[in-house]
A and B are shown apart, each in its own frame.
Chain A
Amino acid sequence: MKPTDQNGSPDTGIAGHGSFFQETNLSREEAVRATDWVRKHVDRRTVDLGERMDDVREHMYELEKEGEIIIHRITDEHEPMAVRTLFGWEKKVPTKQLWHHKSCGQCGNIPGYPTSLLWFMNEFGFVPGKDYLDETDQTSCTAWNYHGSGIGNVESLAAVFLRNFHQAYVSGKQHGHELGHFYPLVHCGTSFGNYKEIRKYLIESAELREKVTKILGKLGRLVDGKLVIPEEIVHYSEWVHVMRNRIASELQKIDVSNIRATAHVACHYYKMVHEDAVYDPEVLGGNRTAIITSVAQALGAQVIDYSTWYDCCGFGFRHIISEREFTRSFTMDRKIRVAREEANADVMLANDTGCVTTMDKNQWIGKAHDQNFSIPIVADVQFAALACGADPFKIVQLQWHASPCEDLVEKMGISWSEAKKNFQEYLKEVEKGNIEYLYNPELAYGGQA
């Protein structure tokens, strides 16, 4: 017999319904009709949908033909891999020659995810300055501020987007390559959603293009008098997604089959301009975006579903700063508690600055409200790096996390105390100025490889 909750409803939490789930008592015919409708319109808008949504890239190609813009294209040199998106488009994900576009929240407080990403690139034998670049000539997308405060506007967001991506386009020159050599890889979920939305507006509105062309002209950031717009906006977790099998087969050192992993995908990854988010029929039946889950599966972890998978983390942009009761109540009640109770998760994997911060940092205060739930929160790429033998402190930088990562690391068979001891020794070296780098630090300032 299935377990039931206090109302007598089947309590099938792990299968995807919380204990609050109640039968609708629809007739079979009604249920089929309702389910079909939801499938078609809401949940699974994938490959089998037939009707395709308007594809912004086609309009971009037209504008380029008319001589209005230049498209920063993904070429064979970027060794792209094709993926399917929610509406069945094919999206190219470049795997090489990447321009790391950092995230203003992540770097300040979850530095382990950019470092894990660069670490992976080195492990694959990528040459810094040729196969990837991390430079200081970039601003944040500034969308965090916009969504939090309303200060900012479409024009400022568009100008920032085009400025940063122009820099990505020309950055190769300094290192003796062609224009367009490096392709931007966006680290942040908010930037990813924002850039896609803004790109859509730019393509739709000649007026907006005209306005920002003036600004970019003043900054000296036009090419042949034209705006440079990227062919695809690519998120780092999409890179991890397409590299997952190589990560697992070439680099994995640790068996993670005893780890129960839950996924939380950033809202702005798949709910903004959702037609472009990556879906894969092989991953959760294509009913949910594939990223995060796919890498956890490739590594052999147990991916456990939970009823509030779809909910946001509670970040709220402004809320995490000035309405913290909302943020922490939402994150504890709708994410941490549920992942603990329904999935008994060893870890929650996420792919964005805001989500990792929100769910990581707000667990302690829960105790004040008798919410004694805790779960380690790390990015997908950090988890993958751990599974591939990266140092939990020096590379994965777990020392910046407030959530209880110790148990997870130990359960993976890595000694936390040993790693911590080594790191503390290393800190003494750092104080003396003996610092280790993943690559030649001069590259950060536009130096030669």
Chain B
Amino acid sequence: MQQIYDDIRGDFRYDNELNGCLNCGICTATCPAAHFYDYSPREIVQLLWTENVEQIYDAMQEKIWACAQCMTCAARCPFKNSPGGLVAIMREVAIKHEMQSAKDVLRPFGRVMLKLITTGNQLSPDMIQPDHFPDWGPNIQKVEGDLTVLRKAIPVKTLQTVETAWEVSLKTSVEMYTIWEMTGVLKSLELMDENLFDVIEDFIDEKREEYDEWLEEQEDDD
């Protein structure tokens, strides 16, 4: 527990984000998450400010995931605190310590995570379909037609894609995988969801091979 608190406090952003607290509640008054959840940015700041280690740990079991990361609180706080920024640190620490709350919350996010880690894009045209988002209604597009054709009707070549938001070159993707690896992002993913991690690793290996082959072809051509 103490280690978790020390990790939060040890983040280099911590002193930037927490500068004291007037307990005025401006942050909570303006917070969208506070409207709908048992959550209050003021409480998060107070817990950290008063070093209430036990309750900080409790808040990380669920509450911190309510924050919508809009940073309205940060723009309003007279002390220039950023409750949303503190929550971001707490989430990273929750993942590092493999807390169950992080695993639970991230499971339904898996499909999007897969897309992001492998392609760098998040929502792609083939995902924004009524079967994925039934609550967006039957008419989420105003023109009937095949998705591929509708995308081809966008007069910008890079956007004429279906599985990613825009076409990303292979070299770019491979560079991104190196970043994921070197910064420990893939490691965090493995801690959170081993199955997803395996799928992603296979995908990355395949793309790298494809890229190597392409490079060899280029050399042969020269």
A residues contacting B by CB (< 8 A) are 41-42, 102-109, 111, 114-115, 118, 134-140, 142, 144-156, 159-160, 163, 193, 201, 205, 207-208, 214-215, 218-219, 221, 267-268, 270-272, 274, 310-312, 314-319, 321-322, 324, 326, 328-330, 334, 357, 361-365, 393-395, 397-402, 405-406, 420, 423-424, 426-427, 430-431, 435-438, 441, 443-445
Contact = CB atoms under 8 A, between A and B. Distances in A.
Contact of B69 (A316, A398, A436): A316
Contacts of B65: 318
Contacts of B2: none
A397 B156 CA distance: 12
B179 A159 contact: yes
Q: Interface majority SS on A: helix, strand, loop or mixed? A: helix
B139 A159 contact: no
A139 B95 contact: no
Contacts of A431: 149
A356 to B, nearest CB: 12
B189 interface: yes
B199 interface: no
B124 interface: yes
A136 B123 contact: no
Contact of A444 (B33, B88, B167): B167
Interface stretch (B43-51, B109-117, B201-209, B212-220): B109-117
A445 B158 CA distance: 8
Interface string B54-79: 00000000000100111110111010
11 contacts: A104-B116, A107-B158, A109-B125, A115-B159, A134-B156, A156-B179, A267-B71, A271-B74, A272-B75, A394-B153, A437-B157
A114 B161 CA distance: 14
A402 B136 contact: yes
Contact of A135 (B36, B140, B158, B173): B158
B32 A314 contact: yes
Given A109-B123, A150-B91, A427 B153 contact: yes
B64 to A, nearest CB: 9
B131 interface: no
Nearest to B173: A139
Contact of B143 (A146, A156, A424): A424
Contacts of A398: 142
B114 to A, nearest CB: 11
Contact of B183 (A108, A144, A153, A427): A153
Interface in B136-175: 136-143, 145, 149-150, 152-160, 164-169, 171-173, 175
B105 interface: yes
B168 A138 contact: yes
Interface in B84-129: 88, 91-92, 94-95, 102, 105-106, 108-109, 112-113, 116-117, 120-125, 127-128
B185 interface: yes
Nearest to B166: A107
Given A272-B74, A444-B158, A105 B165 contact: yes
Contact of B68 (A314, A394, A401, A405): A314
A142 B19 CA distance: 28
Interface of B: 12-13, 26, 30, 32-33, 35-37, 65, 68-72, 74-76, 78, 88, 91-92, 94-95, 102, 105-106, 108-109, 112-113, 116-117, 120-125, 127-128, 133, 135-143, 145, 149-150, 152-160, 164-169, 171-173, 175-176, 178-180, 182-185, 188-189, 192
B68 A111 contact: no
Given A41-B78, A142-B120, A150-B91, A108 B125 contact: yes
A399 B159 contact: no
B159 A427 contact: no
B172 A137 contact: yes
A42 B75 CA distance: 8
Most buried by B among A111, A310, A436: A111
B113 A361 contact: no
B156 A437 contact: yes
Contacts of A436: 155
Choose among A108, A136, A154 the residue with the greatest number of B CB atoms under 10 Å from its CB.
Answer: A108
Contact of A205 (B12, B157, B158): B12
A42 to B, nearest CB: 6
A271 B68 contact: no
A15 B84 CA distance: 30
Given A114-B156, A153-B184, A156-B180, A361 B143 contact: no
A106 B109 CA distance: 19
A205 B12 CA distance: 9
A427 B143 contact: yes
Nearest to B64: A150
A330 B36 contact: yes
A400 B180 CA distance: 32
Contacts of A430: 149, 152-153
B169 A215 contact: no
A3 B156 CA distance: 51
Contacts of A437: 155-157
A63 to B, nearest CB: 17
B122 to A, nearest CB: 5
B128 A365 contact: no
B178 A399 contact: no
Contacts of B124: 108
A331 B81 CA distance: 26
Nearest to A438: B155
Contact of A118 (B141, B156, B188): B156
A104 B159 contact: no
Nearest to B192: A151
B109 A321 contact: yes
Given A108-B165, A153-B183, 18 more contacts: A104-B121, A105-B165, A115-B156, A118-B156, A138-B172, A139-B172, A145-B122, A151-B95, A221-B175, A268-B71, A274-B75, A312-B68, A357-B123, A362-B136, A394-B155, A402-B137, A427-B145, A444-B157
